């Protein structure tokens, strides 16, 4: 019977003598060396693990063959000391790879050592693993739950043999000694720094009790310094999440990976590629503006992410990175100014044309307003409306046509007659071009008895860019008379002036300069 590292084993006499001689050689080799007891303790623990793995229900006695296997696995002292035989020294067992296991790394941890343990297992820089977790956190917070789960599932590497397994290094005498000496050296450096600080504190405190308040102040200062480090890390995490989330959202919008921006459950802004194609696509490439916008708006948020990353992981500033990013940003700023001037020139001149619509019964008591049933735009009545500029809205059809929503304004008539005016607007690089855009607009209005029939949308020719084209309807209503809005107008949702909400099927009466809802039609 023999006891190794607190575990008892049945062993035959020859095996006992061989194992005893091996352990004595190890003790002789490490005698007088720093951390000899800790190294020998870990070696004996590893020998016990190997012998225990050789046990079975039918085999309980350690044999010579088992001891030879242990020695072959752990290695002989002459294999890693500066020996005279160089050929033998090249066959160090520690140069081979061993079995790997997941452990949390306590030596390089920020919170629990999960990321540094995974990095050690895959031989990666811990920074990249931490970045992956941050991406998961930014993508809905799943990274936090994953980290906590791994914290509880993965054990911490406390013994030297566990740290070697974590890195996939073979557990033998050479690697155990090397690992322990590195740990002792690192611990010595940390203790030396701490001792130096403590000695300075003691010297400043002096032997008299009158300096005790200075010592207390130093302790408070140390605690505040620790709190400040925590605040810096939390601030860095916030900057990283904010910068990364805005950068991803900006990229998705600029490259059209989103359907549009919503406001009050309605589309309020076109996807960027579609909007650029419609506003300036006839005169300049869309790709240029996408690259400029990403660089102009993305670089500041990328800088936030980068500085937050440095605050959390405390790595050195990448040389020339900031200067290079700033120079790129300046170049894109000038490019943006250049394209902004070109876009301004496309809309420089403004023209309008006003037409009077003849009503069959301008003296009627009620004017009925409805949509033209046979108009091509009726099938797009319930399509989503996108904002172009200001309060001009459009519908984009499956054929990529642009249907413009009209504006409808009511005013008090100066006499006892209804009157309707159609005002067509357009812009261009010149007055001639603006007038050409006006003539290209298609919008139908008809009058039948006391009914005004209008198209739901104004259409512009296919493959034509928007240059401020739009249609305003000015309807003048005599005081005391009525306007009846057809029910389909509630699906169209045109831009009403002087009416906060005008649902279809409503009767309104002109009061003093404003329309008042009387009742919905039953």
3-state secondary structure 65-113: HHHHHHHHHHCCHHHCCCCCCHHHHCCCHHHCECCCCCCECCCCCCCCC
Mean pLDDT for 135-160 is: 72
Cα–Cα separations (whole angstroms), residue 85 to 3, 42, 72, 90, 314: 35, 27, 19, 9, 46
What is the Cα–Cα distance from 452 to 367, expressed in whole angstroms?
Answer: 7
% of residues, the chain, pLDDT over 90: 24
Beta 419-428 vs 458-459: how paired, if at all? unpaired
Q: What is the pLDDT of residue 170?
A: 61
* pLDDT confidence band for 353 (50 / 70 / 90): very high
| Weakest-pLDDT range from 107-121, 281-295, 436-450 | 107-121
Contact 422, 463 (CB under 8 A): no
What is the Cα–Cα distance from 123 to 166, expressed in whole angstroms?
Answer: 10
**Looking at per-residue confidence, does 365 or 383 come out higher?**
365
Which uninterrupted H or E stretch holds 301?
A: helix 286-313
Task: Report the number of secondary-structure helices (H) and strands (E) in the chain.
Answer: 15, 20
Token pair of 301 as six digits: 């948020």
Contact 503, 486 (CB under 8 A): no
Q: What is the pLDDT of residue 99?
A: 66
Q: What is the pLDDT of residue 329?
A: 92
Q: What is the pLDDT of residue 185?
A: 57
What is the Cα–Cα distance from 297 to 285, expressed in whole angstroms?
Answer: 19
Residue 204 DSSP SS3: helix
Mean pLDDT for 205-212 is: 52
Mean pLDDT for 64-82 is: 66
Strands (E), 203-335: 261-263, 266-269
What is the Cα–Cα distance from 348 to 335, expressed in whole angstroms?
Answer: 20
Cα–Cα separations (whole angstroms), residue 502 to 378, 392, 438: 19, 18, 29
Mean pLDDT for 358-385 is: 90
Contacts of 381 (CB under 8 A, 6+ apart): 371, 456, 488, 491, 492
Q: What angle do CA 249, 250, 254 make, to 5 degrees?
A: 120
Does the pLDDT at position 210 exceed 60? no
Does the pLDDT at position 173 exceed 90? no
Q: What is the pLDDT of residue 363?
A: 92
**pLDDT per residue as tens digits for the range 82-122:** 444 443 343 434 445 556 777 888 777 777 788 888 888 88
Contacts of 124 (CB under 8 A, 6+ apart): 118
Query: pTM for this structure?
Result: 0.53
| Weakest-pLDDT range from 18-32, 283-297, 391-405, 506-520 | 18-32
Mean pLDDT for 447-452 is: 92
Mean pLDDT for 204-214 is: 53
Q: Torsion over CA of 281, 284, 286 and 291, rounded to 10 degrees? A: -160
Mean pLDDT for 326-344 is: 92
Token pair of 135 as six digits: 């991406």
The dihedrals phi and psi of 429, each to the nearest 5 degrees, come to -70, -20
What is the Cα–Cα distance from 406 to 388, expressed in whole angstroms?
Answer: 13
* pLDDT confidence band for 375 (50 / 70 / 90): very high
């Amino acid at each position: 019977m023999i006891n190794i590292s607190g575990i008892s084993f049945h062993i035959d006499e020859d095996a006992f003598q061989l194992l005893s001689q091996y352990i004595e050689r190890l003790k002789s080799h490490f005698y007088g060396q720093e951390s000899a007891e800790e190294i020998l303790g870990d070696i004996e623990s590893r020998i016990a693990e190997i012998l225990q793995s050789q046990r079975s229900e039918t085999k309980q006695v350690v044999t010579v063959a088992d001891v030879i296997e242990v020695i072959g696995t752990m290695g002989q002292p002459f294999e890693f000391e500066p020996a005279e035989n160089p050929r033998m020294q090249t066959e160090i067992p520690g140069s081979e790879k061993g079995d790997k296991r997941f452990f949390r790394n306590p030596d390089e941890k920020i919170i629990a050592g999960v990321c540094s343990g995974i990095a050690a297992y895959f031989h990666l820089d811990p920074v990249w693993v931490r970045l992956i977790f941050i991406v998961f956190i930014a993508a809905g917070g799943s990274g936090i739950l994953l980290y906590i789960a791994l914290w509880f599932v993965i054990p911490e590497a406390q013994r030297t043999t566990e740290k070697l397994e974590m890195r996939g290094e073979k557990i033998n005498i050479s690697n155990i000694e090397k690992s322990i000496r590195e740990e002792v050296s690192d611990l010595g450096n940390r203790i030396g720094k701490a001792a130096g600080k403590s000695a300075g504190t003691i010297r400043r405190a002096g032997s008299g009790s009158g300096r005790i308040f200075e010592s207390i102040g130093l302790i408070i200062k140390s605690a505040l310094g620790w709190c400040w480090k925590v605040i810096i890390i939390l601030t860095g995490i916030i900057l990283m999440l904010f910068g990364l989330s805005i950068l991803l959202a900006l990229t998705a919008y600029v490259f059209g990976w989103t359907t549009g921006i919503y406001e009050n459950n309605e589309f309020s802004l076109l996807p960027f590629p579609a909007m650029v194609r419609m506003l300036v696509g006839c005169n300049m490439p869309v790709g240029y503006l996408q690259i400029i916008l990403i660089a102009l708006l993305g670089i500041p948020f990328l800088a936030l992410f980068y500085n937050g990353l440095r605050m959390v992981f405390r790595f050195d500033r990448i040389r020339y990175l900031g200067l290079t990013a700033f120079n790129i940003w300046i170049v894109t700023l000038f490019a943006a100014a250049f394209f902004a001037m070109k876009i301004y020139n496309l809309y420089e001149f403004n023209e309008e044309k006003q037409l009077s619509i003849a009503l069959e019964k301008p003296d009627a008591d009620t004017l009925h307003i409805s949509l033209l049933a046979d108009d091509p735009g009726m099938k797009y009545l319930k399509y989503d409306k996108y904002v172009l500029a200001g309060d001009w809205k459009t519908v984009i059809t499956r054929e990529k046509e642009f249907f413009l929503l009209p504006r409808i304004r009511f005013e008090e008539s100066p006499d006892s007659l209804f009157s309707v005016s159609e005002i067509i607007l357009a812009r261009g690089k010149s007055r001639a071009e603006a007038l050409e855009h006006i003539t290209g607009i298609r919008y139908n209005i008809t009058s039948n008895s006391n009914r005004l029939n209008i198209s739901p949308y104004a259409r512009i020719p296919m493959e034509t860019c928007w240059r401020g084209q739009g249609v305003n309807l000015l309807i003048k209503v005599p005081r005391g008379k009525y306007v009846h809005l057809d029910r389909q107008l509630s699906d169209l949702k045109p831009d009403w002036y002087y009416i906060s909400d005008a649902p279809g099927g409503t009767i309104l009466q002109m009061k003093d300069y404003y329309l008042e809802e009387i009742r919905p039609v039953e």
